[in-house]
Chains A and B, each alone.
Chain A
Amino acid sequence: MARVRAQDIVVEFPIYASGTRSLKKAIMNTATGGVLARDASNRMIVRALDGLTFELNEGDRVGLIGHNGSGKSTLLRVLAGVYEPRQGYLSVEGKVASMLSITLGMDMEATGIENVFMRGHIMGVKPRRMRAMLDDIAEFAELGEYLDLPMKTYSTGMMMRLAFAVSTSIDADIVLMDEWISVGDASFAEKSRLRMDKLVREAKIVVLATHNHGLVRSMCNRIIRLEHGAMVADQDV
């Protein structure tokens, strides 16, 4: 069962310039009474998401579109459980796989295998399950003997291939992506496209933030358009 329900969610980022973040300022403010109210209203706030209401159900392939700074990535992070909405109600049912940063937690000094397990831990996969998937990952990444070498000996492409292989080997109900991930040379790109297709097919809900309208047309059955953090369109295609 996978479902996402959002009711009037608002995400605001307070801007802490050097002044507001220091303790001195906070103490001064409380000490000088009246300033507090002024400061509270004067504090800069960026409203990244402004009262979004939507429901995602099984089978939804959502294309999230909008200009830079329209709140696409913020919304993905909210769905990934990074930011809790300041106001409103959000419920996410189902296992979430976030493809937002596939190299997070990787250690250049550690070997490829060690990093596979590290990524597993971060994504909440037990070592036992990870071991079962190791062959598949190794075969897909085509790194051969390199898997036993420290990652710093890898080229950027090799590292991305490994990261990609690990992240896409995990099955989840809800898949979040910020732009389509494409790695490697021509032949590998084709292979990774097939793997992504499979991942998208098997997931119950997919949310993809992108600027590529062609991609949205081919992958998605629903489009949500954001503008200045507000939802201006939500349509099936």
Chain B
Amino acid sequence: MNDLAGAFLGSPVWWYLAWQDIRQRYRRSVLGPFWLTASTGIMLAAMGPLYGVLFKQPLNSYFQHLSLSFVVWTFVASAITESCTAYITAEGFIKEVGLPYTTHITRVLVRNVIVFGHNLLVVVIVLMVFPPEVWVRCLLAVPGLLLVTINLFWIGSILALVSTRFRDIPQIVVAVVQVAFFLTPVVWKSEMLGDHEGITVYNPLYHLVEVVRTPLLGKHPQSISWVVLSVSAIVGPVIAMYVFGRFRSRIAYWV
């Protein structure tokens, strides 16, 4: 609890560290962090028409679906995989200064939010070309994103802790997330499953993508996803707090 308060009440180190990460990656390149935007744009421009034809989908609605899903998925997936190494990569900091541990989790999360922000530009362009059904519903994406971030926060806190102790976990998580990309309706739509459509609700990653994607598509949101994520946003942090409180003092010895 103190750790959490320390991370958020003190000077926002995590914000500067996150920015530094991004800047370091793109320093001296002409586009800078907008390379993120560009590479996502190129990727979608290439994949959209191809898969649209493969899945025999109308280009307009499929392209919309793919680009939104892909951008949200990238955020969720990289936040999960990168938070595994949140403490491991911050070894220098952990062993030298007593920064609150939550700082390192927040740094990873904020870094990914910044990346997401840049990718959002692609989303805006896509929505300009292929407008959503109802513009007002896009506003729901904001609480959706908030809900996703809260969930990523507690998931990340647990993963970072466990990964620091057991170095196999990051590899496992990467493998699982890679497979999950194909098992989650990102390139395909849940409607394509026909009678089996309901099966997607058992995939937790589906909900994380859903609450941001559907509002942006201007469609009516899936209430089940909101329920699932709201419940986990309450239960999850409690579990994470317990685990963190139990093992926090060991982290410096594990890294």
Residue ranges of A at the interface with B (Cβ–Cβ < 8 Å): 13-14, 16, 21-24, 26, 77, 80-84, 96, 98, 100-101, 104-105, 107, 109-110, 117-118, 120-127
By the criterion CB–CB under 8 Å, are B166 and A21 in contact?
yes
Q: Which of B107-126 contact A (CB under 8 A)?
A: none
By the criterion CB–CB under 8 Å, are B24 and A22 in contact?
no
- The docked-state distance in angstroms from the alpha carbon of A105 to that of B93 is 8
By the criterion CB–CB under 8 Å, are A82 and B166 in contact?
no
List the 7 closest pairs (A to B, CB-CB), nearest first. A81-B98, A84-B249, A23-B166, A101-B96, A23-B168, A121-B13, A109-B27
Q: Tell me whether A77 and B95 are in contact in the complex, defined as CB-CB below 8 angstroms, given that A13-B253, A23-B168, A125-B11 are known contacts.
A: yes
Closest Cβ of chain A to B99, distance in Å, is 7
Contact of B96 among A82, A84, A117, A126 (CB under 8 A): A82
Interface SS of B by simple majority: helix
Residue ranges of B at the interface with A (Cβ–Cβ < 8 Å): 10-13, 16-17, 20, 23-24, 27-28, 92-99, 165-169, 172, 248-249, 252-254
By the criterion CB–CB under 8 Å, are B24 and A109 in contact?
yes
Chain A contacts for B11, CB-based, 8 A: 120-121, 124-127
Which partner residue on chain B sits nearest A105 by CB separation? B93
Chain B contacts for A100, CB-based, 8 A: 96-97
Closest Cβ of chain B to A50, distance in Å, is 16
Q: Tell me whether A104 and B24 are in contact in the complex, defined as CB-CB below 8 angstroms, given that A13-B253, A118-B16 are known contacts.
A: no
Q: Tell me whether A14 and B23 are in contact in the complex, defined as CB-CB below 8 angstroms, given that A21-B166, A23-B169 are known contacts.
A: no
Please give 12 more A-B residue pairs, beta carbons under 8 A apart, in addition to A24-B168, A81-B97: A14-B253, A23-B168, A77-B95, A80-B98, A84-B249, A100-B97, A104-B96, A109-B24, A120-B11, A121-B12, A124-B10, A124-B13
Which partner residue on chain B sits nearest A11 by CB separation? B253
Chain A contacts for B10, CB-based, 8 A: 124
Chain B contacts for A23, CB-based, 8 A: 166, 168-169, 172
Interface SS of A by simple majority: loop
- The docked-state distance in angstroms from the alpha carbon of A96 to that of B93 is 16
Which partner residue on chain A sits nearest B12 by CB separation? A121
Closest Cβ of chain B to A219, distance in Å, is 23
- The docked-state distance in angstroms from the alpha carbon of A101 to that of B16 is 19
- The docked-state distance in angstroms from the alpha carbon of A121 to that of B98 is 13
Which partner residue on chain A sits nearest B166 by CB separation? A23
Which partner residue on chain A sits nearest B16 by CB separation? A121
Task: Point out which of B94, B96, B249, B254 has the most chain A C-beta atoms below 10 A from its C-beta.
Answer: B96
Contact of A122 among B24, B27, B99, B249 (CB under 8 A): B99
- The docked-state distance in angstroms from the alpha carbon of A101 to that of B94 is 12
Chain A contacts for B12, CB-based, 8 A: 121
By the criterion CB–CB under 8 Å, are B94 and A82 in contact?
yes
Q: Tell me whether A80 and B252 are in contact in the complex, defined as CB-CB below 8 angstroms, given that A110-B20, A118-B20, A121-B11 are known contacts.
A: no
Chain B contacts for A82, CB-based, 8 A: 94-98, 252
Chain A contacts for B252, CB-based, 8 A: 82-84
- Provide a sorted-by-A list of 22 A–B residue pairs whose CB atoms are within 8 angstroms: A14-B253, A16-B254, A77-B96, A80-B97, A82-B94, A82-B96, A83-B252, A83-B253, A84-B249, A84-B252, A109-B23, A110-B20, A118-B20, A121-B11, A121-B12, A121-B16, A122-B93, A123-B97, A124-B13, A125-B11, A126-B11, A127-B11
Closest Cβ of chain A to B196, distance in Å, is 33
By the criterion CB–CB under 8 Å, are A110 and B23 in contact?
yes
